[in-house]
Structure formats: C-alpha cells, structure tokens
Amino acid sequence: MSVTLLYWSLTISHWLLLAAMFCCLIRLVRGPRAQDRVLAFDALYVSAMLFLLSLGIATRSPFYFDAALVIALLGFVSTAALSKFLMRGEVIE
C-alpha cells in the first residue's frame, strides 16, 4: 500500500517538478527583464534540487542527495552574483 503510494507520489512529483522547470525555462528564455531571468534561474536551481531529491528517494541511491546538497548550499552563489551584477554593475566591489 505504502509502496504504491510512494511510487505514485514520486512519479507525480517528478512530472510536476519537470513542469516547474519548463515554466522556469519560459521565463528564462522570454524574460522580459533581466531580473525575471535571474529569478527564473534561481527557481530552476531549486526545482532541480527537489527533482534530484525525489529521484534519490525513488532510486534509493544516496548519490542524488550529495548533488542536492551542493545545489542547496552553493547554487545560490551564482544567483547572488547575478543579482549583484544587475544591481551594482560588478560582482565584487
């Protein structure tokens, strides 16, 4: 019972997260402003992290969690750099 539940919830979450990533892609490509793109980029990273977590649960492999951890901890660095670039014109002052 719980296995079936888990299977379906994971499958659904995979597809939903993929859909979320597609949504981010739309903003990423279309913009219109640079800020929209940076935001979409960050959201893409977050969705990817969640996607990896759900994949890890589905495949019972610990390696997905490592990658998710890296994204969670360091993924925001590029977002921060991008926003600072937009805001201040340079990353390190």
The binding site for other proteins (CB under 8 A) comprises 14-15, 18, 21-22, 25, 28-29, 31, 34, 37-38, 41, 44-45, 48, 51-52, 55, 63-64, 66-67, 69-71, 73-75, 77-78, 80-82, 84-93
Instruction: Determine whether 54 is exposed, middle or buried from the number of CB atoms within 10 Å of its CB (0-12, 13-18, 19+).
Output: buried
Q: Is the CB of 2 or the CB of 89 nearer to other proteins? A: 89
| Least distance to other proteins, CB of residue 82, Å | 7
Q: Is the CB of 6 or the CB of 91 nearer to other proteins? A: 91
Q: Is the CB of 6 or the CB of 69 nearer to other proteins? A: 69
| Least distance to other proteins, CB of residue 23, Å | 11
Q: Please answer whether residues 54 and 10 qualify as being in contact, where contact means their C-beta atoms are separated by less than 8 angstroms.
A: yes
Residue 37 CB partners (closer than 8 Å, separation 6+): 27, 28, 31
Residue 81 CB partners (closer than 8 Å, separation 6+): 91
